Structure formats: C-alpha cells, structure tokens
Amino acid sequence: MAMRLHEVHPTLVHFPLALLPASLVLDLTGRLSGNKGLMQSGRLLAAGTVATTAAAGVAGLVAQQVVRTDGAAHDTLVTHRNLNLTLFAVTTALVAARMRQQRPGWAYLAAGFAGYAAMNYTAYLGGKMVYEHGVGVEAAGRAQPTESIELRRDSIGEALRRSLRLIAQAAARVLRELSQGEIAPLLNSRRAMRLPAAEGGEPRPIPRRHDGRGPEEHPYRPDPERAGHTGYGSTQSQGSSYYQR
C-alpha cells in the first residue's frame, strides 16, 4: 500500500525527536569530559535536528490541508502547529549560535533541554489529534483521500505540484488564523475548559459530524441505540455496537 501525502508528516517527526536529545547528551558529555569528538558530533546532530524539523514542518503544513478538523480538534491542530513553528524558529537560532562555538555553553544546553521538553508536549498534541479526535484517519471520516494522493512512482510529479499548492494554502491559513488571534487556543483555559456561560465562559457547542448531519460520534464508542441497550458499553449479539460513519 502506497503512502499518502498526509501520512508523510508522522513518519518524519521522529527524526528531530531523536536527534535533539542525542545532540544535547553528546554536547553535555563532551563539555564535562573535555572530549572534542563528542562535542563535534553534538554540533552535527544539532544541524540535523534543524533540517529534519524543517522537513517535518513542511509535511505538517501539507497534512493540515487534507485532514478534517473542527471544534476541539481544530484547537489542538492550531496549538500544535503554532507551537512547533515557534520551536523551529528558536531551535534554528540556537543551533546557528552553536555552529559558531567549539564548546556548547551552559545556557545553550539549558535552552536545548527545555526546548526538547516543549517538543515532546507538541508531539503529545499530535498524538492526541489522532487517538482522541481521529484526525487524518480515513475510517473516522477525518481525511480527504481525494486531496491526499498516494505516493507512487508514476505520481511523484503530481504529488510535488499538489504539495506546493497545499503549502501555499497552509501558509495563507496560518496568517489568517494568527490575524484572528488563534495562537494557542488549546492553552486558553477559558476556551479549553468550556466553562458554563453563567461562570463567565462560553456555552459548549455540540460537536457536529464532518458531513453536518448530526452530533459528532466517536468511531469506537458503543452506540446504545444500535446495540439495543441503554447502558454505556453494552453489546448486542447481532449487529454492530459501534458507530458507523
């Protein structure tokens, strides 16, 4: 089975998540021991971190344009994307300074480990989009297969052209959402918690299905009505007890 455009992003994100801590550990060990070889290896891996982060980011912008998000899934995607854009800018600046130094400074190491912790949080948000909201999952109706074409030998040219178009659309979307004040909506406690209006929050909207026909349903949550029971988690011997999209 060929990989689709929106599936490239999750295959690339592991590289910076592995290269950054390896670089920092080598730098730290080299700094403490005075080993120049370890510090040189740390510098090289730091450059690799920036390169792979850029690749993962571009793939993420493409993926953003071919998945379906709304409500909490949209908030999670925007927060995940904007935090990663910020981390990429900070990491690039740090690594640029590191490339001019033979020995890593303590401030660089501290900032690097803090950045790695933040990177893991944004990775968690990426997983949350998939496992909690089904973003990018075709079976859950959260992907657009017609936009996310398969990567085959005879479709590489079309995939590149479509990727460039999607990246341009994604950049415009980023600017539009930033201009509307959407920076890290998931971290906005008032919005994330959906406080009742009487307590100063906004009424929580009922999530809608992507086709607009009714309340959003989790693809793996037991359906009491279709199962023929009233209790959550009950099953029925005949027929499916799960939501069908």
Average pLDDT, the chain: 78
Banded pLDDT at 57 (limits 50, 70, 90):
very high
- Of the two residues 2 and 80, the one the predictor is more confident about is 80
* Mean pLDDT value of segment 58-71: 88
Choice among 166-170, 213-217, 221-225 with the minimum mean pLDDT: 221-225
- Confidence (pTM): 0.68
pLDDT (tens digit per residue) in 100-144: 999 999 999 999 999 999 999 999 999 999 888 888 777 666 656
Residues in the chain: 245
Amino acid identity for residue 244 in this structure = Q
Choice among 50-54, 131-135, 149-153, 160-164 with the minimum mean pLDDT: 149-153
Is the pLDDT reported for residue 60 higher than 60? yes
Which tokens go with 107? 């401030």
Is the pLDDT reported for residue 160 higher than 90? no
Is the pLDDT reported for residue 40 higher than 60? yes
* Mean pLDDT value of segment 57-86: 91
Is the pLDDT reported for residue 163 higher than 80? yes
- At residue 243, what are phi and psi to the nearest 5 degrees? -60, 140
pLDDT number for residue 106 = 95
Q: What Rg, from alpha-carbon coordinates, does the chain have?
A: 22
Looking at the chain, the whole-number percentage of residues with pLDDT higher than 90 is 45
d(C-alpha 163, C-alpha 65), whole Å = 10
